[in-house]
Chains A and B, each alone.
Chain A
Amino acid sequence: SIADSKDIVIDAPQIAENGAVVPIEISSNLPNTRSIAVLVEKNPFPLVAKFDFHEGAVPFVKINAKMGESSNVRVLAEAGGKYFTAFKEVKVTIGGCGG
């Protein structure tokens, strides 16, 4: 099972004016974080990106994502062989997935 974790920090706007470019910054304070996956739950294809961190990398990333509509931005982190999750709700004024 996947535990909710407060050690995953998601920094994203409460309200994104432009759904085509939503800045999302993610940090994991979980020891031995190997990977971080970012999902926008209500997007047509929810998985936005996944990063694997090798020795020498800090489990931190900042991305610009497209959001089609207001949605939770969910992060899945794999640390020490287990999965942890956190989310932040981002409201979107104008959707940015195109079409």
Chain B
Amino acid sequence: MADPMKIRATLKGDLADVRVLMGHPMETGQRKDGAGKPIPLHFIQEVTVKLNGKTVIEGQISQAISRNPVFSFRVKGAKSGDKVEISWLDNKGDTNRTEAAIA
């Protein structure tokens, strides 16, 4: 099971800056292990950002995103205490979802 994401959501006026760190190998399928065998493709494909239960951003991402992805997003009309939920789905069907309150 995946570790929870680290989310930091801070308010600037009514704009919330949302920064998220995800733990994921984001293997491109191009790397080889010590024995010379290719390490299979394993990467987050979809990222969803919700504010108070409503989807605001949907991302389709590729294996070209760096290992342990870090993303920053901005949402408007946010207030302190509002809930930001970030979820991801990878190419193996694994998912992760973490929620945080806007500071």
Q: Report the minimum CB–CB distance from B48 to chain A (whole Å).
A: 10
Range of interface residues on chain B? 20 to 34
- B7 close to A (CB within 8 Å): no
Q: Is A48 touching B61 in the complex (CB atoms < 8 A)?
A: yes
- A4 close to B (CB within 8 Å): no
In Å, the complex CA distance between A6 and B76 comes to: 23
- B65 close to A (CB within 8 Å): yes
Q: Is A58 touching B66 in the complex (CB atoms < 8 A)?
A: no
Given A56-B51, A97-B64, A99-B30: A61 and B73 interface contact (C-beta under 8 Å): yes
Residue of B nearest to A22 (CB): B66
Q: Is A58 touching B76 in the complex (CB atoms < 8 A)?
A: yes
Per-residue contact bits, chain A 35-57, to B (CB 8 Å; 1 contact, 0 not): 00000100111011111111111
Q: Is A45 touching B58 in the complex (CB atoms < 8 A)?
A: no
Name the contact of A56 in the complex, choosing from B63, B71, B77 (C-beta under 8 A): B77
A51-B59, A61-B57, A66-B65 given; name 18 further pairs at CB < 8 Å. A20-B67, A40-B64, A48-B65, A52-B57, A56-B54, A57-B56, A57-B57, A57-B73, A58-B15, A60-B73, A60-B74, A61-B71, A62-B70, A64-B70, A65-B65, A97-B28, A97-B64, A98-B30
Interface residues of B (CB under 8 A from A): 15, 28, 30-32, 49, 51, 54-67, 69-77
